[in-house]
Amino acid sequence: MTAAPLVERLHITLTGAVQGVGFRPFIYRLSTELALSGWVANSSFGLAVEVEGAAEDVACFLHRLDRERPSPAVVLTRDVTRVDPIGLRGFEIRHSDDSLEKTAAVLPDLATCPECLSEILDPSNRRFGYPFTNCTLCGPRYSIVLDIPYDRPNTTMRAFALCADCLREYTDPADRRFHAQPNACPKCGPSLASSIEETAHTLASGGIVALKGTGGFQLLCDACDPAAVARLRERKHRDEKPLAVMMPSIDAVRRHCRVSAGEEALLRSPAAPIVLLDPLAGPCMGKAIAANVAASSPYMGVMLPYSPLHHLLMRAYPSPVVATSGNHSEEPIAIDNEEAIERLAGMADRFLMHNRPIARPCDDSVVRVARGGEYPIRRARGYAPLSVAIADESAPVLAVGGHLKNTVAIAVGKQVFLSQHIGDLDTAETRRAFQSAIADLCRLYEFEPELVACDLHPDYASAAWARDSGLPVIEVQHHHAHVAACAAENGVREPYLGVAWDGAGYGLDGVIWGSEFFLVRDARFERVAHLRPFHLPGGETAVREGWRAAASLLCETFGPERIPDSFFPAAPHRAVLLRMIERGVNAPLTTSMGRLFDAVASLAGVAGRSRFEGQAAMALEREIGSLRTADAYPLPHGDWSPLIEAVVDGVRRGLDRALIAARFHNALVEWLLRVAGEVGVERVVLSGGVFQNRYLLERAASVLESNKFVVHSHRRVPSNDGGIALGQAVLAGRR
């Protein structure tokens, strides 16, 4: 007599970004195929599943659950509990359970999938040419969600009643649009207010278009028309900062840029970010990208069409277009139609709008490939608000980030949820956006912080908000937060050497830090090395005028009498600046690595001023080009005087600027290696905006790894100030 098969019943909980990606119909189909009974439901923490059946089929279910789950899903935890079988019959998709604490991750907006694109381009399909086509694998998520769990009544699509055909898709577990919350068609969904053909004509005529995208408005113009680009820059008040380009296809990208396999994968990914690429000297065929698009940047920011509307426009106008944020520089992007008409009227010649509301602004993300993997520069559409898993349970912390490239974050259990990129908090408009982002994130997760973490700098707008919040405040030193963010996203355990190189951060001693080495152990940050401090004559003005930092270093290296008058832009500057440096009046001390870059760029004749943050450093990196050398200038114990002497000597002898730039970068790497050797811990964590420099990052990692160190750099959050909210949350949560 054959024994009855062993029956098992499992209760499974999945946390992370598991809603809105077709996970429930996937589980339904898998369970049905394996003849398992049970149910699946969205919940406030993620996804809940029960399966019951033959033990071998249950084991197969678990194996295939990991291997075959929907590609956009991000599973942070999977808890499996064996419970007593109760004779479940059949498999069902249950209604969402929203009674528990809200910790389910909201999925980012996802680029159009191949299946939906095929439908849009098929004249026989009912969605032919429809610019709001989506399914469970693609389309808007974060930009439309109003509440958790992610169900249609909790999105801005709730105003659009599904037609009979769309409802049939929405309710059929076998359909790829089963519970695709933004599901729509021309009969029942959003619509455009003007035509794509007229928009293409405006671009062809050299005009500027304001297009309502997934997470806000974009300003578009022909990227091959220098006059159109110049008009856009003038109207947007964006003089030299690089502009992103949307290419109609990957073939078009290859005609204008070098593209590695990793870079192409990022361009084609569901996140579809702007990817920083190396431009070719000239396209293989067709028109060249206007020189004033990338301006002084050594890279070109490129993206592919990521929404149905973009795909349709790129087919109507198959030429590269500038696609930049719909705002004046340093302001938040516009998301509402009436708001856009008011704010962008002086910039756009035509508006391409629609009637699908946007719940929150979400700019385009910017990434690059470094160290063979993804390296984020700006984290927004396609990535936010995915959480970062952390090792230890955190107190309920609200982290309000820094002043530049601001993001905010909340710590919930062992997850930290980061907002989208908000921007620099210099304007009233951006500060309002900052406050809205805090309220939005807390409301979405019904989160009540017990304390707020902020930067140590007394003048940051984010820190001022924290002090006025009425919550207990924990101040986190800027560079501690940088290092902690990188360590947290990589799961690095103490002890480790944390390296934070950037432009500025308020130090524990009141000095402006920016070249910091920390030995991190036992939850303590011991500052073990930094650059020799130097004066910044003019304070904030020196951030934009790198020649001021150069004058300070020359003065302290050679003495004021040896600095030629020709070095100063105007005659009165010499006496004034030298007096500032000598007396320390309006000339704060700093250990800033960013300002050292500015000074060397000025001395080498690469850039004396910066019209945007990091411009001089970018120009200095660009000078290296394809040159590879191990030669390095001296930088003993962080003392820059021998380095400055060597740079000046090289300039006087007419040394090639590429070699000067390479030797300077190599000096920093050699110093980093020496400090790591002296500290003697295996793990090294690299953070701070200076490490956005690919040459520096990759050479530092290579040299350290060849000397048996384990190097960790950013992969999930930016190394610049866009990542410090994560570090603040982690450090404050531990206290």
Q: What's residue 104's pLDDT?
A: 56
**In 191-349, which ranges are continuous DSSP H helix?**
196-204, 226-236, 250-256, 261-268, 291-294, 308-316, 337-344
**CATH number, domain with residue 68:** 3.30.70.100
The helix or strand, by DSSP H or E, that contains position 451, with its residue range, turns out to be strand 451-455
- Count CB-CB contacts under 10 A for residue 592: 29
Same domain, 117 and 61: no
Q: Are residues 226 and 365 in the same domain?
A: yes
Same domain, 226 and 346: yes
Task: Point out the domain boundary residue: 191, 213, 231.
Answer: 191
- Please check whether residue 577 lies inside any domain of the structure: yes
CATH number at residue 637: 1.10.357.160
Of 335, 369, 403, the domain-final residue: 369
Closest CA to 717 of 263, 266, 374, 335: 374
Neighbours of 583 (CB within 10 A): 10
Phi/psi at 395 (5° precision): -65, 160
Tell me which residue has tokens 């671009």.
Answer: 203
Task: Check which CATH number belongs to the domain holding 123 and give it.
Answer: 3.90.870.30
Backbone φ and ψ of 415, nearest 5°: -130, 145
Task: Indicate if 138 and 70 belong to the same structural domain.
Answer: no
**Same-domain status, 40 and 156:** no
- Can you tell me the distance from the alpha carbon of 132 to that of 593, in angstroms, rounded to the nearest whole number? 47
Asked whether residue 523 is domain-assigned, the answer is: no
Q: Which amino acid, one-letter code, is at 282?
A: G
Residue 390, in any domain of the structure:
no
Helix (H, G, I), strand (E, B) or coil at 535: strand
Are 590 and 645 contained in the same domain? Answer: yes
Closest of 152, 28, 14, 179 to residue 93, by C-alpha: 28
- What is the pLDDT at residue 580? 85
Residue 451 phi/psi, 5° resolution? -155, 165
b vs e for 364-395, b when ≥16 Cβ sit within 10 Å of the residue's Cβ?
bbbbbbbbeebbbbbbbbbbbbbbbbbeeebe
CA 615 centroid distance within chain: 19
- Tell me, what's the pLDDT at 7? 86
pTM for the full model? 0.90
The mean pLDDT values, 10 residues at a time, for the chain of 735 residues are: 72 80 85 90 81 91 88 79 85 70 71 97 98 94 87 93 96 88 96 96 97 97 97 92 96 96 95 95 72 87 98 97 91 93 94 96 96 95 90 92 97 91 94 96 91 96 97 97 97 96 96 97 95 93 90 90 71 75 88 97 90 90 92 97 96 95 98 97 98 97 97 97 97 89
Q: What is the C-alpha to C-alpha distance for residues 253 and 184, in angstroms, rounded to an integer?
A: 31
Answer whether residue 254 is part of any domain: yes
Say yes or no: 44 and 133 in one domain.
Answer: no
Tell me whether residue 567 is in a domain.
Answer: yes
Give the pLDDT confidence score for residue 1 in this predicted structure.
46
Of residues 199, 171, 206, 167, the one with CA closest to residue 185: 167
Query: Which of these three, 338, 369, 400, is where a domain ends?
Result: 369
* Local structure of 413: helix, strand or coil: strand
Same domain flag for 268 and 359: yes
Same-domain status, 208 and 357: yes
Domains in the chain: how many in total? 4
Residue 295 sits in a domain whose CATH number is 3.90.870.10
Is residue 50 situated within a structural domain? Answer: yes
3-state secondary structure 6-39: CEEEEEEEEEEECCCCCHHHHHHHHHHHCCCEEE
Closest among 317, 284, 122 to 209, alpha carbons compared: 317
**87 and 130 share a domain?**
no
Do both 187 and 200 map to the same domain? no
What is the residue whose two structure tokens read 């508006």?
351
Residue 124 lies in a domain: yes
**Residues 181 and 202 occupy one common structural domain:** no
Classify residue 12: in a domain, yes or no.
Answer: yes
- Check residue 198 and give its pLDDT: 96
Residue 91 φ/ψ, nearest 5 degrees: -125, 135
Q: The domain containing residue 573 runs over which residues?
A: 537-668
User: 630 in helix, strand or coil?
Assistant: coil
